[in-house]
Chains A and B, each alone.
Chain A
Amino acid sequence: DVKVTQSSRYLVKRTGEKVFLECVQDMDHENMFWYRQDPGLGLRLIYFSYDVKMKEKGDIPEGYSVSREKKERFSLILESASTNQTSMYLCASSSPGQGAFTYEQYFGPGTRLTVT
């Protein structure tokens, strides 16, 4: 049974703080993703990674960075948190696909981050 865990369910940080969100998966998946989910905007891709030490920008990477030092762990970093980064953050992982075929992404429970 695939399990994706995130370090915190709820987090409150102050403006300007450096914030680390951690994600760990136990299925040896190559691909990992970070999304944020906001009412009326849906899930939006921030960054993703195909392999250790690899990262690719998603649709909204501004204000974020990522780190993938080990295959099972993918961290999202907010260098200087701002109030507009208050959101639900979801991590996901998947096996690699081939061509049009792709495996489903498995999501973690999410971290609700509030920046005050």
Chain B
Amino acid sequence: GQNIDQPTEMTATEGAIVQINCTYQTSGFNGLFWYQQHAGEAPTFLSYNVLDGLEEKGRFSSFLSRSKGYSYLLLKELQMKDSASYLCALNTGFQKLVFGTGTRLLVSP
């Protein structure tokens, strides 16, 4: 099976940088997704890491270390609209995803 851990809640200030961690224990996986979910809305795709290293997409970057069993999502130049839940999910094969419980990020002025 898989076990995925994320902090429940984080707070940060507008304009700051925040790192949301995701640690996991699994027997194997193909890659790791990050999704953003605003309250009452559908999750939307942010990034997918297959190989170790950093993937950068504008203000958002995602990092994966298979040997250390963790990933992080880095959000720069935080904006109020970044207040949302951030979900990490393991692709365990055949398009099946196993999600963590999500991290709720609160951005204050």
Question: Which A residues have a C-beta under 8 Å from some C-beta of B?
Answer: 4, 31, 33, 40-45, 48, 50, 56, 58-59, 90, 94, 96-97, 99-102, 104-110
Chain A residues lying within 8 Å of B31, measured Cβ to Cβ, are 100-102
Cross-interface CB contact of B95 among A4, A94, A110, cutoff 8 Å: A94
Complex: A41 Cα to B91 Cα, angstroms: 18
Complex: A96 Cα to B43 Cα, angstroms: 19
Q: Is the CB of A45 within 8 A of B96?
A: yes
Complex: A41 Cα to B89 Cα, angstroms: 13
Q: Is the CB of A41 within 8 A of B96?
A: no
Cross-interface CB contact of B30 among A43, A45, A102, cutoff 8 Å: A102
Cross-interface CB contact of B42 among A50, A56, A101, A109, cutoff 8 Å: A109
Q: A99-B30, A104-B45 are in contact. Are A48 and B101 (CB under 8 A)?
A: no
A89 to chain B, nearest CB (A): 12
Q: Is the CB of A42 within 8 A of B87?
A: yes
Q: Is the CB of A97 within 8 A of B95?
A: yes
Q: Which A residue's beta carbon lies closest to that of B51?
A: A100
Q: Is the CB of B91 within 8 A of A110?
A: no
Question: Which B residues have a C-beta under 8 Å from some C-beta of A?
Answer: 30-31, 33, 41-45, 48, 50, 87, 89, 91, 94-102
B108 to chain A, nearest CB (A): 23
Chain A residues lying within 8 Å of B91, measured Cβ to Cβ, are 100, 102
Q: Which A residue's beta carbon lies closest to that of B4?
A: A42
Chain B residues lying within 8 Å of A90, measured Cβ to Cβ, are 42-43
Complex: A110 Cα to B98 Cα, angstroms: 18
Q: Is the CB of B99 within 8 A of A105?
A: no
Q: Is the CB of B43 within 8 A of A43?
A: yes
Complex: A48 Cα to B44 Cα, angstroms: 19
Q: Is the CB of A105 within 8 A of B30?
A: no
Complex: A59 Cα to B4 Cα, angstroms: 15
Chain B residues lying within 8 Å of A33, measured Cβ to Cβ, are 95
Cross-interface CB contact of A41 among B44, B97, B101, cutoff 8 Å: B101
Q: List 10 A-B contacts (CB under 8 A).
A: A4-B42, A33-B95, A41-B101, A42-B87, A48-B96, A99-B30, A102-B91, A102-B95, A104-B45, A108-B42
